[in-house]
Amino acid sequence: MNSSLERYTERVEQYASRFSRFPLFLDVTMVLALIGCAFFGTQLSFPGVVRPDTGKSLEVLLGLSCFVLLKYRTHTRTVVVVVAGVTIAAIARGYLLTPMLLAPLLAAMYWLAVLCDRRTVRLYALVVTVALLTVNLFSDGMRDLSPVLTVIGPVFWMALPLVGGSLARLRGDYLEAVKARAEHAERTREEEARLRVTEERMRIARELHDVVAHHLALANAQAGTAAHLSRSNPEQSRKILDDLTGTTSAALRELKATLGLLRQDDRPKGEGLEPAPGLARLPELIDSYRSAGLEVVVHQDGVRRPLTPGVDLTAYRIVQEALTNVAKHAPERAAHVGFTYADSRLLITVSNDGPATAVDGTSGGFGLRGMRERAQSIGGDLCAGPRPEGGFEVTTALPLQPSAAVEGESP
C-alpha cells in the first residue's frame, strides 16, 4: 500500500514539475475550471426554492471575477477583495452557498495563505468570513436551514484553503531552508578544499625551501672551502669535493622524494620514495656541516623519548634550517645544538657565537618564518633572536606524545 502511494506521489510530482514550466497555461486552465464551478454553483438550490432571477448579469460577473485570479501572484490582496465582493453579492441575491459557488473565493484565499504573511492572512480571513456569515444568515437561499448549519458550512469551507495554503507555505519555506543549507554546505566544502590546497602548498613550499636552502648553502660552503684549500692542502680539497658530490646527490634525492608526493599515479603508497627524515639522520646532517668547515657541538639533557613522525620531521627540519642560517650568515664557524626532554615537551636550541647581529638578517626571510610555521603546525612554538652575550639563538618547544621513555644515546 505504501509503495503504491509512493509511486502515485512520485507520478504527481513528475507531472507537476512538467506543467510548472508553463505557468500561464496552468493559470488559464485553473480560471476556466473555476468559471465552470461557479456557473454550476449558481444552478444549485434547495427543492422548492426558486433560483433568483438576476438576468444572468451576476453569473457573468462571477465568471469575470475568476479572470482576476490571473493576477494572484502580483495583486493577491486585490484579488481576494474583488472575488469576495462578487461572491458575497451573489449570496445576498439569494444564490445557495455551496462549495461550487465558493470555488473562486476558496482559490483566492488559498493563494493569500501561500503568498502573504500570517497577520494579513488572519485579517482578511476574519473579515471575509464574518461578511460571508452575515450575508448568509439573511439570505433567501438559506432560510430553511438552521442557523447552526448556516454558520458551520461556510466556516468549514473557508478553513480548508487557509489550512492548505499555510501547509504549502510551510513546505515552501522548508524547501528554501534546505536549499540554503545545501548551498551553504557546498560553499563550506569549497572553502575547506581551498584551505586544504593552500595549506598543502605552504607545506610543500616549506619542504622545498628547507631542502634547497640547506643543500645549496652546504654545497656553496664546501665549494668555497675546497677552493681555499686547493693550493695549500690538495688532499683535503679533494676530500671536500668528494663530500660536495654526496651533498648534491642527497639534494637530488630529497627533491625527488618531495616532488614525488605531488604525483598521482597507481604505485603503492610510498613506493619509490624515501622515508621522511628525522633525528635519526642527525649525525649525517652534522657530518655534512663539519665537512664544510662548521664545527657543531650537540648535547642532550633528559631521557630521550620516541617521537611521532610529524614531531620527528619538524625537529629535524628546524635544526637543519637553523644550521643552514649559521653556515650562511654567522662569521664564527661554530654552532651549538641542544636537546632537552621534559615531561611533555622537547626543547631544541641552536645557537652560535659572534656579533649579536650576525644572523639577525634572516628574520625577514623565509627561513625563520618557515621554522615558526612548522612548529606551530604541530602545537609547538619557536623564538629566535640575538643573544645578550653575542650571537644568535633559535629555540623551539615541540610537544611529545605520551609514551614510555626509552634510553638512548644523544642525537
**For 274-303, how does the pLDDT look when each residue is reduced to its tens digit (9 = 90+)?**
566 788 888 888 887 787 778 888 999 888
CA distance 352 to 390: 8
Report pLDDT for 142. 59
- Of 12-16, 100-104, 127-131, 156-160, the least confident: 12-16
Distance CA 244, CA 250 (A): 10
DSSP state of 161: H
Contact 308, 323 (CB under 8 A): no
Picking from 349, 341, 350, 351, the residue whose alpha carbon sits closest to that of residue 399 is 341
Spatial neighbors of 335 by CB under 8 A, at least 6 apart, are 289, 294, 295, 296, 297, 322, 323, 326, 350, 351, 352
H or E element at residue 399? strand 392-399
Name the pLDDT band for 188 (thresholds 50, 70, 90).
confident
Residue 300, φ and ψ in degrees, nearest 5: -135, 140
Give the C-alpha separation, 104 to 38, whole Å: 7
DSSP 362: G
pLDDT at res. 210 = 67
DSSP-derived pairing of the beta strands 334-341 and 345-352? antiparallel
Q: Which residues, 6 or more positions from 16, have their beta carbon under 8 angstroms from its beta carbon?
A: none
**Mean pLDDT of the region 92-120:** 87
Q: What is the per-residue pLDDT across 143-160, written as a single tens digit (0 to 9) for each?
A: 556 666 677 878 888 888
The fraction of the chain above a pLDDT of 90, given in percent, is: 7
The end-to-end CA distance of the chain, in Å, is 75
Residue 342 pLDDT: 84
Confidence check: pLDDT of 337 > 90: yes
Q: Report the C-alpha gap between 167 and 145 in whole angstroms.
A: 33
CB 182 within 8 A of CB 131: no
**Which pLDDT does position 48 carry in this prediction?**
53
Q: Closest Cα partner for 382 from 366, 394, 365, 400? A: 394
Which 3 state secondary structure label does DSSP give 395? strand
Q: Is residue 50 over pLDDT 80? A: no
What would the pLDDT profile of 261-276 be if each residue is shown by its tens digit?
555 454 454 444 456 6
Q: Which residues contact 210 (CB under 8 A, 6 or more apart)?
A: 317, 320, 321, 370
Q: With the CA atoms of 181, 183, 185 and 191 taken in that order, what torsion angle do they form, in degrees rounded to the nearest 10?
A: -150
Better pLDDT: 69 or 219: 69
- For the cut 50, the answer to whether the pLDDT of residue 410 exceeds it is no
Extract the C-alpha cell encoding 176: 528554501
Q: What is the mean pLDDT of residues 219-229?
A: 73
Cβ–Cβ under 8 Å, residues 389 and 358: no
Q: How many CB atoms lie within 10 A of CB 157?
A: 20
User: Which residues touch 97 (CB under 8 Å, ≥6 apart)?
Assistant: 91, 132, 136, 139, 141, 142, 153, 154
- Taking the C-alpha atoms of residue 172 and residue 115, their distance in angstroms, rounded to an integer, is 10
Phi-psi region of 399 (alpha: psi -120 to 50; beta: other; left: phi over 0): beta
Q: How confident is the model at residue 409 (pLDDT cuts 50, 70, 90)?
A: very low
With a cut of 60, say whether residue 380 has pLDDT above it: yes
Mean pLDDT of 67-90: 88
Residue 382 has pLDDT above 80, yes or no: yes
Are the CB atoms for 112 and 165 separated by under 8 Å? yes
pTM over 0.75: no
Q: Give residue 400's Cα distance to chain centre.
A: 32
